[in-house]
């Protein structure tokens, strides 16, 4: 059946992987990609499908009502990936996070209220729960975000919930763990470490490197979104985690091992302020819906590292930009001295 999906933030890491998946899996679907092309938005991520007649790119801001209104009127479903997504940047300054993650989500919800929509799928994160020393969060745990990025993602979720309950918007929410894979902007740990290691630059490990994250291969996240978009129960929230606990220091070692680089590249640096100790999701609910992650944690890491080895033009174009260099200096200049 033909459907028009309004995908926001499709030029970013996960959004681009999801656009690829939709065009591959659903020959009858049309995709409108609304993206502001912030520092993290990269048209090169979708260069291979740019001329596909089922695909349309709109350059614009999800917080701009005039841009959003006609696109929502045209769409059957909205999948909202657009966000400011980097914790360290949210600690340096939070205004863009409030603008996009909170106000932008509100503008999309309000347009959905006016025009009616089959489904509003909001992409959220495990960070909304805060930090958990032991055990796993299921979807009934309270939202206790601990950094500005996470607080704006939790705020967006509360708006999604309120618009579902007050206005009957048919919403679903997925909360995923740390994605790795192709097209991730090299400010996030894994692509930062891989690209630094290739160039024999230091790998900055915050604090003692014992914080735990749950790595999820991006294709497995996209298959989960696909499933919930089509089969998830309206009004529900679904955790999407790989249950693959990895520490920072293990990640650094794995990357250096695969690239044949020396451990001396590891540098312990000043910790992230308010650094969350551990994220860990219980994903039984989405598994009961039929989701099975296909890529194990070791293979996910190997494939990801190899992608950056094979796509050096892609990331060197980003790392050569003045805005990347300025951010790197601001974030690591003092830490790595």
Our answer to whether residue 149 is catalytic in this structure is yes
Mark 55-74 with x for binding to ligand NAD (rule: CB under 6 A) and - for no binding: ------xxx-----------
- Phi first, then psi: give them for residue 277, nearest 5 degrees: -70, -45
Shortest spacing between CB 302 and ligand NAD, in angstroms: 18
The distance of closest approach from Cβ of residue 1 to ligand DAU in the complex, given in angstroms and rounded to an integer, is 32
Q: Which of 7, 19, 104, 315 binds ligand NAD (CB under 6 A)?
A: 104
Distance, first Cα to last Cα, the chain: 57
* Two tokens, residue 42: 């990269």
* Structural tokens at position 85: 């997504």
State in angstroms the smallest separation of the CB of 268 from ligand DAU. Answer: 9
> How far is 126 from 35, CA to CA, in rounded Å?
23
For residue 215, give the H/E element and its range. strand 212-217
- By CB under 6 A, name the binding residues for ligand DAU: 85-88, 125-127, 177-178, 188-189, 192, 204-206, 211, 213, 248, 272, 279
- Which partner in ligand NAD, ligand DAU, none is near 105 (CB below 5 to 8 A by kind)? none
- Helix ranges (DSSP H) in the chain: 13-25, 65-74, 87-92, 95-97, 105-115, 148-167, 189-198, 218-231, 248-259, 284-289, 297-310, 312-319, 322-332
CB-wise, 23 or 194, nearer to ligand DAU?
194
Given the residues 61, 110, 126, 214, select the one marked as catalytic: 126
- The residue from 106, 129, 149, 185 that is catalytic is 149
Q: What is the C-alpha separation between 219 and 226, in angstroms, rounded? A: 10
To the nearest whole angstrom, how small is the minimum distance from the Cβ of residue 239 to ligand DAU? 11
Count of residues in the chain = 337
Partner that binds at residue 15, options ligand NAD, ligand DAU, none, CB closer than 5 to 8 Å by kind: ligand NAD
Look at the block and give the residue holding tokens 């790392």: 319
Rounded Cα–Cα distance for residues 327 and 68 (Å):
30
Residues 6+ apart with CB under 8 A from 154: 128, 143, 145
- Is the CB of 28 or the CB of 322 nearer to ligand NAD? 322
Active centre residues (catalytic): 126-127, 149
User: Can you give the binding site for ligand NAD, defined by CB under 6 A?
Assistant: 8-9, 11-15, 34-38, 40-41, 61-63, 81-85, 100, 104, 123, 125, 153, 176, 178-179, 185
């Amino acid at each position: 059946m033909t459907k028009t999906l309004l995908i926001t933030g499709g030029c970013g890491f996960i959004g681009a992987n999801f656009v690829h998946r939709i065009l591959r899996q659903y020959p009858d679907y049309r995709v409108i990609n609304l993206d502001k092309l912030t520092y993290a938005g990269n048209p090169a991520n979708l260069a291979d499908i740019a001329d596909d007649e089922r695909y349309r790119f709109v350059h614009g801001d999800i917080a701009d009502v005039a841009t959003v209104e006609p696109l929502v009127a045209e769409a059957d479903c909205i999948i909202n990936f657009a966000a400011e997504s980097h914790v360290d940047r949210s600690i340096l300054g939070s205004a863009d996070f409030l603008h996009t993650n909170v106000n932008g989500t509100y503008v999309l919800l309000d347009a959905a209220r006016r025009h009616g929509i089959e489904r509003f799928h909001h992409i959220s994160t495990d960070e909304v729960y805060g930090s958990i020393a032991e055990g796993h969060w299921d979807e009934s745990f309270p939202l206790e975000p601990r950094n500005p990025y996470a607080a704006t993602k939790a705020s967006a979720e509360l708006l999604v919930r309120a618009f579902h309950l007050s206005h009957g918007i048919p919403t679903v929410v997925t909360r995923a763990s740390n994605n790795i894979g192709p097209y991730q902007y090299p400010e996030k740990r894994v692509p930062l470490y891989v690209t630094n290691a290739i160039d024999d630059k230091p790998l900055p490990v915050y604090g003692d490197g014992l914080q735990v994250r749950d790595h999820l291969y991006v294709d497995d996240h996209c298959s989960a979104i696909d499933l919930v978009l089509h089969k998830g129960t309206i009004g529900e929230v679904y955790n999407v985690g790989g249950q693959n606990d990895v520490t920072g220091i293990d990640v650094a070692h794995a990357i250096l091992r695969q690239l044949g680089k020396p451990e001396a590249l590891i540098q312990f640096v000043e910790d992230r302020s308010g650094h969350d100790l551990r994220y860990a999701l219980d994903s039984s609910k989405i598994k009961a819906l039929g989701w099975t992650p296909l890529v194990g944690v070791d293979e996910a890491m190997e494939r990801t590292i190899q992608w950056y080895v094979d796509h050096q033009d892609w990331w060197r174009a980003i790392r050569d930009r003045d805005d990347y260099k300025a951010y790197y200096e601001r974030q690591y200049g003092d830490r790595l001295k």
